[in-house]
Chain A
Amino acid sequence: MAEKLGTGAENTWCPGCGNFGILNTMKNVVEKLEEDDIGREKLLISAGIGCHAKIFDYLNLSGLYSIHGREIATIQGMKFANPDLKVIGFGGDGDAYGEGLSHLIFAAKRNADITMIVHNNSSYSLTTGQMSPTSEKGYKGPSTPEGSIEEPLNPLMVMLSAGASFVSRGYAGKIEHLTDLIVEAVEHEGFSLVDVLQPCVVFHDDQYQKYNQAVEILKEPAETKYEAMELTEKTEKLPIGVFYKEDKPVYHEEIYPDLNVVEDKINKDERREQIEEILKEKA
């Protein structure tokens, strides 16, 4: 099965790129979801623009290759239109935490039933390594030759503040752990974020080494949102796993508890009768 998940498209990531770990993880994820009766025909993917997004071409799954930061809105559209589908968005850190941050915050706020996987490599790599929202202070890139003067964003803190019902972090170097994490995120009813530490071998030095030493697996989610927030502030050790999880009403079900506007589409005659009613009421 796993082979069929490739498309045959030429892979153009740099050798050793952390994105390979995420691609391999996704192939495992699809198989595991199928074991849980979520067939791949029901999966839709989207991606933004950047190195991360090439995963769209490499995974033989249906979807829409979106634009920078907008994949978060794209997958919400897919989900609202047909809630029977499971939707997964791939974003980069520039993409989801920069250009598309407002979409991410509001998707969390409304608890849209989507999964966002953010390939967080702390640089704009495809555009030659400029600083990104999560680059460390002092990061040197072509737009910040003297080093970034901005503090990095703490995206998990932002997500917790926005009311995200599933907030997690994984590591592209720990495929088994990341597989289970993404499966759990996809199966979570409501908004889920998986921030993935994704080493960039060109614009950062030794990120694999750093992450291999720093990551520590969380045994279970924090009990409260505030404890989860504290976890996101850790920098010496980097917790990976589910930081926070809660059950909340899901956006599309709050609009229509039982109606799928595509699958249960109103028929032509019924719609027209409704319109005739509206016309008559005013006549």
Chain B
Amino acid sequence: MTEKPFPFKPFIICIGEMMSEIFTYIIGGKAGEGVKKAGAAAANLFSKMGRKTFKMDDYQSLIRGGHNFSAVSTSIDDIYSHYMEADLIVNLDDRSYDLHKDHLKKDGLMIYNSGDTENGEGIGLPIDDLSEEYSKSDLIKGVTGIAVLSAVIGLEKDELENLIEKEYSRGVDENLSFAEEIYDLAEEKIDNRFTLEEGDDDSPIFSGNEALSLGAASAGLDMYIGYPMTPASSILHFFAAHKKDLQIMPIHPENEISVANIAVGATMPGARVMVGSSGGGLALMEETISLAGMTESPVLFVLASRPGPSTGVPTYTEQGDLNFALNQGHGEFPLVVASPGSMEEAFYLAGEMLDLLWEYQTPGIFLTEKHLSESSMNIDVDPSSVAWAEPKKFEDDSDEYKRYEMTDDGVSPLKFPPSEDVIKWNSYENDEKGITTEDPVKITKMHDKRRTKNEKLIVDMKEKETVNHFGNSGPVIFTYGSTTMSVREALRAGKIEAKIVQPKYLKPFPFWELEEYMDQDVIVVEQSSTGQFASLLREKCNIIPKTVIRKYDGRPFEPIELAEKLKEAI
């Protein structure tokens, strides 16, 4: 399968009116029926065909039952979102059929489980009856997806076998047998055929969490510490799985407070450290973010947001934590907050931030959302173009070492133990050597030092790409984070000519890049109920949006729906 080219003839049949080049596949069923895996297998298949692919998993906070689905959209060109209008929908149970029956495109193909759905429209397959014969009768149902997909896009049976061996290697014999049964039935019962053109893209598919992990690894990460919390947990799983090859120490301690303090402790002997959680976990870490500000410890905190407040809606998406991220930590200290607008940017931004934090010896927050953390898309990245995070080091051995030595830029050279010199990091206000002080002159000087770092940081950031612009003309749309992807895809879906402005850095806020928009009618798109991002634009740049398109139902924007909203706003 991986070696052979696909036997397709490169012609496109019309599978929808508006966007013939995009093919969308949805598979839905109960948790425990292998739905997520089925989505991933399809995404990998499309990717192997050289096509660009975006996969979004929608799942509930439960282990068995409920309703999960995976929406996978693929195109020859870049694609930044899944669509909810599907060409092929495979429903493993009746609940899924009910929920998705309105998502089918005209000329689309609906597959339902005839053992669970009576009088369905589309093609019924006896999924229940067939799966009963197998030892994992629930889990195996998910294999239906790839078997049907293979049949309707014209894969030969041996190609399906190769796919199963690669994607479903655990219990492969049963999986093969079940897949073949489904494939044969599909061949027999289904007339519809979709022909997917092969592309020439060879970039791999990664989730945002995987991409940011790889980016931080490229910048020289030494340790990752995490306590499980959706949607950040898969970062911990990634580093645990790659413990041997990447040589990045994965640690799962007793709680988030421990996570953050192990991290600060580890920076003192020089380890490059990242931690991650969602809002509730970061709230527990906040005491330590302030500690990192005072001790000048460069810990990178990943905040993968989900709808709040409190436990909120654990497995869904929202941008309600923007203000929370921007205002982390009691007291005044330099804090960097940045948020990526794609999986690829997650890779580069995580690396860039780790480097920046070590340069300025201060904590930073990598803000993202479930939609970016856990959705997957192609990334084309070059690890060697990421800076290897190195701090300013103490070189002059003739001088006495002072941890908090006053310098022009406020950044004191670092020295790591073991060392003959005494190196003292301190949570109390301190003198240059790190000894606690209550002296008013020293207190003032140390505040000035930390503020100077922030000022120098801003000077440096002015040389960096802190804001992305997509499109050259038309109305201006401000957005950030994962919503950037939704807006980019919505412009394509709606054939809208507009200019997207996406600040990557949110603190310090790159106002210098945005002055030109001050008197313009701009549209803001964000996933928060109160419009936190719009408020930030107003506060930092006096940009007053004429329309704020908000969504706060836990689901990412759907491109066609968002396109409609944008058209209304324009």
A interface with B by C-beta (< 8 Å): 7, 9, 39, 41-42, 44, 46, 49, 54, 56-57, 60-67, 70, 73-78, 80-82, 84-85, 102-103, 105-106, 255-256, 259, 261-262, 265-266, 268, 271-272, 274-283
Residues of A within 8 A of B287 (CB): 67, 70
* Cross-chain contact B258 with A64 (CB below 8 angstroms): no
Residue pair A81, B265 in contact (C-beta under 8 Å) = yes
Q: Are B418 and A80 in contact (CB-based, < 8 A)?
A: no
Q: How far is the CB of A169 from chain B (nearest CB, A)?
A: 24
What 5 pairs between A and B have smallest CB-CB spacing? Answer: A77-B265, A73-B261, A282-B204, A81-B271, A77-B266
Chain B residues within 8 Å of A56, by CB: 424, 426, 436
Partner of A64, one of B223, B251, B418, B425: B425
Question: Can you pick out 23 interface pairs between chain A and chain B where the beta carbons lie within 8 Å of each other?
Answer: A7-B422, A49-B427, A56-B436, A60-B422, A64-B427, A65-B434, A66-B265, A67-B261, A67-B287, A73-B253, A77-B273, A78-B269, A80-B223, A80-B251, A81-B265, A81-B269, A102-B257, A103-B257, A256-B249, A261-B222, A265-B247, A272-B218, A281-B204
B423 at the interface (CB under 8 A from A): yes
Of the candidates A44, A62, A78, the one having the most CB atoms from chain B within 10 angstroms of its own CB is A62
A75–B206 Cα distance when bound, in Å, is 35
The residues of A that contact B260 with a CB separation of less than 8 Å are 73
Which candidate, B85-93, B238-246, B359-367, B454-462, is the interface stretch facing chain A?
B238-246
Q: Is B134 an interface residue (CB 8 A)?
A: no
B486 touches A (CB below 8 Å) = no
Contact yes or no, A63 B424, CB < 8 A = yes
Number of interface residues of B (CB under 8 A): 66
| Contact of A103 (CB < 8 Å), options: B205, B258, B295, B423 | B258
Contacting residues, chain B, for A44 (C-beta < 8 A)? 268-269, 417
Whether B427 contacts A42 by the Cβ 8 Å rule is: no
Asked if B265 contacts A76 (CB within 8 A), the reply is yes
- Asked if B261 contacts A82 (CB within 8 A), the reply is no
CA distance A262 to B249 in the complex (A): 10
A271 touches B268 (CB 8 A): no
Q: Determine the main DSSP class of A at the interface with B.
A: helix
Shortest B524–chain A CB gap in Å is 35
Which chain B residue lies CB-closest to A4?
A: B422
A42: B residues at CB distance < 8 A:
417-418
- Spell out B's residues near A (CB within 8 Å): 44, 47, 202-206, 214, 217-218, 220, 222-223, 242-243, 245-251, 253-255, 257-258, 260-271, 273, 287-288, 291, 295, 381, 383-384, 388, 416-428, 430, 433-436
A46 contacts across to B, CB distance below 8 A: 265
Report if A67-B427 is in contact (Cβ < 8 Å); known contacts: A76-B265, A78-B266. Answer: yes
Given contacts A85-B418, A265-B222, contact A283 B202 (CB under 8 A): yes
- Measured CA separation A66–B291 after assembly (Å): 8
A102-B247 in contact given A57-B435, A66-B291, A74-B265 (Cβ < 8 Å): no
Complex CA gap A276/B266 in Å reads 27
Given A57-B435, A63-B424, A106-B253: A275 and B419 interface contact (C-beta under 8 Å): no
A70 touches B261 (CB 8 A): yes
